Structure 1
């Protein structure tokens, strides 16, 4: 793809758990480096940007991210113009990664047998789904 997508983690606190697990995985880091601009934003920072009417572009980007945010952490994939094309809340993410393998087939995400850690496989699937959803927008 010629344009990078943004993957952002929006949180009200440190988000340490996510950073210490899936965001330390080599396959995840490779995909992020290849196709995404990765960022981490605090809700407070986005609210400040949102209220700054001197820069309408950043204010609108903050609006788009905060519109999708749910406590405690929201993982968001968006186009270069800020349009959110995929997102998942960390609580839901943790719920589906703790499912028993036999319950996974009915889930939105499925685990890959290539990973020992279901959260890494699920996050990788989240990123790949975002890339798929972005294809129609990024065709040149």
Structure 2
């Protein structure tokens, strides 16, 4: 499950207007993920909901990994977050010059002109690889 947290700041808008409009990204999301988003306030409310302990648990797991303003997460169906990146860090990484990419966690590859698209696809693929460790 892919669960980017609140898409509310300019970095969220930037993501929606770039990587989340990319055909290769959308194809990967549609093929391998349940893509959703949640507001922090909604997760905080769900976390305290005593009538649904499973949902409360999942909300707590996501809030534990959240950093302001936007957190992109890959989670298992049970809510365990197996991969995440803060949007500000993501945008900082994709703003680097290509010659600086060698030393970054998310380099630019894959033949995409837009480094953010390549970086986002790498993030999703890394999440899929990490998920394999948890699935039978």
Q: Is the 8 A contact 2:7 2:37 kept in 1?
A: no
- Gaps in structure 1 of 5+ consecutive residues: 1-5
**Pairing partner for 2:71 from 69, 74, 78:** 74
Taking the aligned partners of 2:97 and 2:58, their CA distance within structure 1 comes to 37
Is 2:40 the counterpart of 1:43?
Answer: yes
Q: Is the 8 A contact 2:71 2:86 kept in 1?
A: yes
> SS where residue 29 of structure 2 aligns?
helix
Q: Is the 8 A contact 2:2 2:33 kept in 1?
A: yes
CA RMSD of aligned residues (A): 1.2
Taking the aligned partners of 1:95 and 1:13, their CA distance within structure 2 comes to 18
Taking the aligned partners of 2:129 and 2:26, their CA distance within structure 1 comes to 18
> SS where residue 41 of structure 1 aligns?
coil
- Whichever structure has more strand as a proportion of its residues is 1
Aligned-residue offset at 1:61: 0.5
When residues 113 and 126 of structure 1 are mapped into structure 2, their CA distance, relative to the original with a 3 A threshold, is closer
Taking the aligned partners of 2:63 and 2:14, their CA distance within structure 1 comes to 21
Report the TM-score, using the length of structure 1 for normalisation. Answer: 0.92
Is 2:126 the counterpart of 1:129?
Answer: yes
Where in structure 1 do 4 or more consecutive aligned residues deviate above 4 Å? none
When residues 80 and 113 of structure 1 are mapped into structure 2, their CA distance, relative to the original with a 3 A threshold, is closer
